[in-house]
Every structure is written in structure tokens, then in C-alpha cells.
Chain A
């Protein structure tokens, strides 16, 4: 029988929240990929978005505000056989946790990171999140926002992510396909997901987005893949993706902005320093002998400290 990726935990998001579409898209992607439920771990931060793992019937860690990425990286690097998916809010991943988002781009560990981009801090009642534009005043704000808008796609690109995409929570068909590709991508992926929050964001609503979004893949010439074969074009492809990342306002692109399969993921880089890293992953190593003592010969390992 196919695994049911749903749990019986009551989903307690507000009616009409974009989070439902994301949850369904994740569950469908896993089912369609026929993923081994033991082989995947969901990791989230704190916020409305942070509740996602409890609703999915695979291992889940609902971590701390902003810290989902390093938790997830620890899972991944100690057992690189696992697929690790991160779900977090825009405040969580690009406000308090933005340092980790950038650092993970430089690592490229192989995480699938979904940013629930609702422009507000949902769970703390609608304060402005880093993606809210300057001077925008949503109903929960007492005065217009005095910060400028952070561009998640440009940030992900400049951080070094090897897979950068944008989805829309009310286009589950496209979102699901992006998630599937991201989960099969060897490096780390960022998916910025436009996620209306009907409770606190009365400006960037489902209708607002529907009028503006278009799909990059509708243009048959759009091919932002850097691979070992076309590595000579890497710079121009990156520049093309970065240029497209600037588009926002009347027209909002969705789909895959950038993909790079030529860059070694972090585990591959680790394997160059750690013998047999993939064959005996840290989580699977035997650490004691049959009689219950260490398997490490410290005197031999630290022979250089022998002083005579």
C-alpha cells in the first residue's frame, strides 16, 4: 500500500491561507516521487509555516525561529543518504535566520528549502517581514513599512544556491513539479513560494498574485541550466538568471530561475577529506567493539604525539 503522507494532526492555519497549497504540493511530490518515508526528514522553523512537519507523515523537526537550516544541515551531513526538506517563513529564513540561508548557499549541502513568502510575520500577528516593500501598509501595520524589500531570488543566487525557483501556493501543479525537481537536485535548492496570508496581508492577496504571475517555462528558450557540459557559459547563464530575478511588480516570474549541476555538493567536498564518507556515513558507523569498548586506537591515531 502506498504510504499516506498525511498525519492525523489537525491543521490549524486560517481558512484561505496559502500554506494549505504548499502542504498539499509537498505531500503530492513525495507520493509521486514514491519517496521512502524513512528516507526523508522535514525540518521547519517557527511561525505558521513552521507547523508543516507535524502534518506530514515522515520524520519531522520543528526547530527554533530561524534555525531550521543548520538543524537540517546536521541531519544531512551526518547521514547524506537522507533527503532533507526545510520549510520556513520569510521572517524565519530571511530575517532572524538569514545568516544561515546565506551560509547554506555557500555549502550546497543538498537541502530543499521552501520559503513561505507572505511578506508578514504571520504567527506574531502581521508585522512586516523582509519581503514587504518600502511604504507598503498592510492592515496590521500601524504605519507604512520603512524597510526596503529583500529580493529572495537575488539573495539565493548570490549566496550560491545551485537551484533557485519561485512557486505560487495557488498553482499547486507548477509548485509540485518544482518541488520534485528540487528534491532530486543534488545540491541545495531555494524555492521562494508566494503565499498569501489573508489574515494579515490584505495587499498581496491571491487575486493580486494571480493577475501578475507568469511562468518562465512558457518561454521555450528559457534554459537556465549550468552543467559540466556547458560550464563555459556559466557566467552568462547566471547573469541571465540574476536579470530575471529583478522582475517584480506588474509581472512576477515563477518557475526555475537557475540550476547548476556542475558544482559539487558539500557532502562530495567532505568526502575528499573524510575517508569512506559515503560508504560508512557518520550515522552508520560502528563505534564500539563486541565487548563494549572503543574501536579507536588512540595511540596509533595520535602517534605524532609520542614523545619517547
Chain B
């Protein structure tokens, strides 16, 4: 394990006035514990407390496909500027149980503070039954190799030998300082958060405010938790663990949103009024979030004109029903979507093909997790790009697009709904699990960033030709049941929508449908398809899509500090594909590195197919864990230093 220098907090005093912070706060924290043990609450408290004092927090949630007991954790990074990635080694490991020490053995480095309960020191690896067998074996080998005992003490000693700083705290007695009676372990999550904040120097008033927000409305719980916080802060100051108070910084109003939140918000703003889903990780949170925010608040200028309204969210019997019910709803003129993940989308293939041939405006938000089959149900993956581009039998047009950060989730979801209406075709909006579960601080949600181009449904009267062949751009008038009489069929159809097997009409309908894709290609602006970040004339060109965008942008900054000029070709749309733009960039690029969370390098395959350009260097990760800044940085260095030969680096990190 490499030792790396930690960035320390630097404050300088200008004219003896307020401490002005140089942009050097950079803290990575992992809070781990058993699933169901309040990890989310704990990291929520940490995020909110830092937010109160003005910092930005960026985090990812990792969890097993399990409800209670197995290891879960959140990894957050705190900076005074908005972070875009996470980084190892971490600065704090907050272990709420023994498993969290064992599981994160390799995440610590020089200076990492390990906060744990002194009562667990004797716990043995062999007793940690909730650690997956193979993982336990790996941990055992790591410890045994250097003759450390297979216990928490052994693991702590191993970490200490890497420069980590163990901070054993008697959890139970600290809690008992604050609360008599009850089950002390119930407060361990608050305790862990409070110790972390005290040690990193966050003002106690922010932690208390954060408790009030997290437990809002539950006065007794607030009171108890605030008492625990005080006990934790007291413990830290008595034992000289507390740091100097971190200065507050000015900050704009911000929203803490996940990728799931972003998609829900964007869809609601984009006019979605009907959503179907069948429960599946990591997609169903989006639908639940919509249900929770179902009382839509209108913009001021409309509030007096519109009645209160909500969105119909229907949990269906399966994903076949989810997509076909969404299609049915789209046919009344309602903006409609469904959200799913790989296994569910496989079931949707036949319905998707119907939406293609019948020109139905439909959005499928496709959350990617580790496949194939059930795969890694709660872990990250980007292995469904080629599937999304080819789902369903027969040939029909579709738009396939993806988002790479929480803000993009919002505005792309709006655009997806617009495209669906304008081009009358199914749209697949890809969001990877890492992004779905990323929480980020967004300063404001802009209702004027993307227009909502509502379709004007006219009553067409007799002999309405829903599939009128006389169009230049392939787009015929959309009808709505309730206003028009027309027919639809999954069979090839005539202009009215009746079944036909006429060979000429068949040909013309095929051309009509695909003409819409050309129209879409010509109308959709380039920046919605691909973006070049950084200097055109760079030595290194990264190519990626989805949630690696943030970490790569951070890596580009770090490489610049080393004197290496790098840029990023970030692809957002795969159908229609920005062939010319990508060709122009890649044909002139020097060292090109494809970065993807899959095995095949699917974007690289698409690029090869579209442009004929083969990307030789690859950084891939398919173990289901998020890519971090440090990993991409060291893999890129290796590639850059090996100019002569092609390198494929498979990233392995992550608990």
C-alpha cells in the first residue's frame, strides 16, 4: 500500500482579521457499520454539519444486497469548493462495528484517524460472520502475511504500521455520560459522527443544528442525541483529540441531492405526470422520491392559475407491465416514464420495441448496476450501454443518452422528456448506480435552463392520419386518445394505424421512422451529445461517460500540477452519435485513455464502430465499486509513462 501525503488545513491570517481559508480543506471520511445500523443517519449528520459551516460535501453510499447486518458504508469528501470525486486513503475511518475495521483495512494510509469502540479490540475475524467468506479470507491473508493476529487489535496494528492513528473510544461509557438507561449502541451512529466532527474541528453548534434537522419534529430524540454530542465533544477535548475550530465560510444556498433525486426533480419539472415502476435497486428510490414530493408547488407566476396537482406513480406487477402501462398513459398525451435497472429492462424489451415502431413518446430511466443477470445488485456498473443501444427486436430509432453528475440528472431528465415528445420515440436515459447514490451539493435548481416544449394536442377529426407519410422530417402529428380516433398496432401499419403487409407502405414507414432520427441528430445541440473539457491541444485525452466525469476532471487538475496537459472527451449521447466531433478530436489526440466501469470498454466499442478509431489504452473497473481520483491518477501515470505500448489497467479498489 502506497503512503501518500495528506493535505492539511491551512489558514492564514490577513491583517489580523478573520481567518481566510485557502482552498485546502480536503477531508475524506468513511463511516461504516452494519446495514440497518444508522449509517445513513450518521453520514447525513456529518454532511449537514459541514454544510452548516459552509463546506461542500460529496458522498457515495455502498451497501450489500441485504437489509440487516452486512457491512455498509458511506464515503464522503469535504472541501471548501465543490468536490467532484472521492479519494483514498481516507482521513477518517469511523467504525461502528468490527466489520468496518476489517473491511476498510486497505483504505487507510499515513495520518488516517480510526475512530472505533475500544470494546471491540478483542473481536476476532473468524467471528465476523457477516463479512463475505472470500473477503474474510483475503483480510486473513493480509494480516497473516505480516504476522498480525486476526483480531481487531491485529487489524489496528496493521493499519498503524501504515501510519494510521487509532483512536479507541469507550463508546458505551461516553454514551452513558449523556444518557442513563436505554441501549447505548443505539446512539453509536450519533457518537461516531460527533467524534469525527469534534476531531476535525467542526463547531458543536453545527452538529447540534444538524441533529435538529435530521430528527426534526422528534423532540425527545433530539434532546438525547444532543446530549450524546456534548459527551463526545467533551471526551475529545479532555483527551486532547479535538482540533482547532474549523472556520465557517460564506456559501450560497444549497440543496443536497442524489442522482435519484436529480432524475425525479428533472422529470417533474419536465412535465412528467405519470410514472410506473417495479421495485429494483438502484432505480426505485427515484419513484419513491416522487411519491414523497407529490404535492407539486407551482412557480409564483402560475400559483394562482393552477390547481394543486400531483404525479401518478404506479407500482406495477412487473416490468413488462411497467413499460406497457407507461406506453398506455403516453397515448393520452401525458408525459410518461418508467425507471428500472438491468433485469427489469431485459423484461421491457418487447414493450420497448412497440414504443419504437408505434412512435410513442416514452422515457426509460435506466439505472445501471453490476450485471449480468442479478449480478451485483447494489453495486456500480456501466455494462448496459450496448444493451440500451440494441434493446428490442427489429430496427427502430431511439435516443440513448446518459448523465454524469447530479445536476446533469436534473436537466437531462427534462431534455429526455422533450426529445420523447418532439421525436416521438422511446428515450433511454442512463444513470449508473454510483451516480444514483452520489449525494452532491447543488446551489439552486434553475427552472429556466431547459424549456418545456409542451405538445399542442389538437382535435384532428375524421380520418386523422397518425402516421402520415407526407412529412419532410419524419414527424407526423401526435394524437391523443380522448381527443382523436386513430389506431395503433405492433404490426406494421398504414397511415391510420391499421395492420398492413403492403411492401411499399412497409418501406416508407421504415424510412419515416428513421428520418426522425436524422431530424433529432440535426436539431439536438452538440453540447448535449459530447463535450470536450480542457485544452484542445493536450498530451493526454481521456474518454469517458457517466459518473467517471467528476474524478477525471479532478485528475486532470492534478496532472496539470505535475505539468501534464490533459483533456476529457465526455460523451453524453450514443444515439444519435456525435461522430464527426469525436473523430475530429480523437484523430488528433496523442495519448488516448478510455475510462469505463465495465469489462468490454463499451463506449470504446461504440467509438470504434462509429469512427473506426481504436482506443488502445483503457482504465476499466468492474468490481462494482466507484472509481476514485487516486486510482485513476495512478493508472493514468502508468499509461503516460508507457507511451510505447498499449496499457489496460483494471482498477481493483473498494470495500
Contacts and interface: CB of A to CB of B under 8 A. Distances in A.
A294 B453 CA distance: 9
B334 interface: yes
Residue with the highest number of chain B CB atoms closer than 10 Å, among A82, A277, A302 = A302
B572 to A, nearest CB: 21
A302 B334 contact: no
A54 B265 CA distance: 39
Contacts of A81: 482
A37 B482 CA distance: 9
Contacts of A308: 48, 51-52, 251, 253-254
Interface string B470-514: 000000000011111111111100000111000000000000000
B357 to A, nearest CB: 11
Contact of B487 (A59, A64, A74): A59
Contacts of B489: 54, 61-62
A64 B481 contact: no
Contact of A57 (B273, B414, B448, B485): B485
B346 to A, nearest CB: 15
A279 B485 contact: no
B110 to A, nearest CB: 32
Contacts of B482: 38-39, 41, 59, 79, 81-82, 283
Contacts of A282: 273-274, 311-312, 329, 332, 334
A229 interface: no
Contacts of B328: 43, 61, 70-76, 78
Interface string B129-154: 00000000000000000000000000
Interface stretch (B299-307, B382-390, B549-557): B299-307
Interface in B330-379: 330-336, 350-351, 354
Contact of B452 (A60, A292, A298, A305): A292
A93 interface: no
B294 A70 contact: no
Residue with the highest number of chain A CB atoms closer than 10 Å, among B293, B333, B482 = B482
A79 B481 contact: yes
A99 to B, nearest CB: 6
A58 interface: yes
B195 interface: no
B294 A274 contact: yes
B36 interface: no
Interface stretch (B84-92, B314-322, B558-566, B647-655): B314-322
A248 B355 CA distance: 41
Given A63-B354, A307-B254, A288 B52 contact: no
B255 interface: yes
Contacts of B320: 67, 70, 100
A299 interface: yes
B599 interface: no
B298 A297 contact: yes
Given A75-B329, A297-B299, A275 B488 contact: no
Nearest to A266: B314
Contacts of B291: 273
Contact of B317 (A54, A76, A100): A100
A1 interface: no
Interface in A259-283: 270, 273-277, 279-280, 282-283
Nearest to A61: B488
Contacts of A54: 487, 489, 498-499
Q: Size class of A's contact patch?
A: 35 or more
B644 interface: no
Given A54-B498, A61-B488, A302-B445, A296 B268 contact: yes
Nearest to B44: A307
Contact of B257 (A37, A38, A288, A305): A305
A273 B293 CA distance: 11
Contacts, number: 256
Given A46-B490, A59-B487, A62-B489, A295 B321 contact: no
Contact of A274 (B48, B312, B336): B312
Contacts of B308: 275-276
Given A62-B488, A70-B320, A299 B451 contact: no
A158 B51 CA distance: 54
Interface in A285-305: 285-289, 292-302, 305
Contacts of B309: 274-276, 280, 285
B253 A294 contact: no
Contact of A298 (B269, B325, B351, B441): B269
B576 to A, nearest CB: 24
B27 interface: no
A78 B255 contact: no
A232 interface: no
A240 interface: no
B148 to A, nearest CB: 41
A53 interface: yes
A75 B481 contact: yes
Contacts of A294: 269-271, 299, 414, 447, 452
Contacts of A9: 498
Contacts of A296: 268-269, 296-299, 447
A63 B487 CA distance: 10
B228 to A, nearest CB: 22
A277 B312 contact: yes
Contacts of A288: 271, 451-454
A146 to B, nearest CB: 27
A38 B445 contact: no
A242 interface: no
Interface string B430-453: 000000000001001101100111
B575 interface: no
B269 A274 contact: no
Nearest to A42: B487
Contacts of B329: 74-75, 77-78, 282-283
A280 B307 contact: yes
A306 interface: yes
A44 to B, nearest CB: 9
A231 interface: no
B325 A299 contact: no
Contacts of B274: 74, 77-78, 282
Contacts of A33: none
Contacts of B483: 38
A103 interface: yes
A60 B358 CA distance: 13
Contacts of A82: 332, 481-482
Given A54-B498, A70-B324, A277 B255 contact: no
A63 B325 CA distance: 11
Residue with the highest number of chain A CB atoms closer than 10 Å, among B261, B481, B487 = B481
B270 A298 contact: no
Given A54-B499, A78-B274, A296-B447, A302 B487 contact: no
B478 to A, nearest CB: 13
A301 B324 contact: no
Nearest to A58: B485
A307 B484 CA distance: 47
Contacts of B414: 294
Interface in A228-271: 270
A283 B272 CA distance: 10
Contact of B451 (A286, A293, A297, A306): A293
A189 B459 CA distance: 30
Contacts of A78: 273-274, 312, 328-330, 332, 334, 336
Nearest to A7: B498
Contacts of B52: 308
A38 B331 CA distance: 13
11 contacts: A61-B488, A78-B312, A78-B328, A82-B332, A270-B312, A282-B311, A287-B454, A288-B453, A293-B451, A294-B452, A295-B298
Given A64-B351, A75-B481, 5 more contacts: A60-B487, A77-B274, A102-B317, A274-B309, A305-B255
Interchain residue pairs A-B with the least CB separation, the first 6: A74-B328, A287-B271, A78-B329, A103-B317, A300-B297, A62-B489
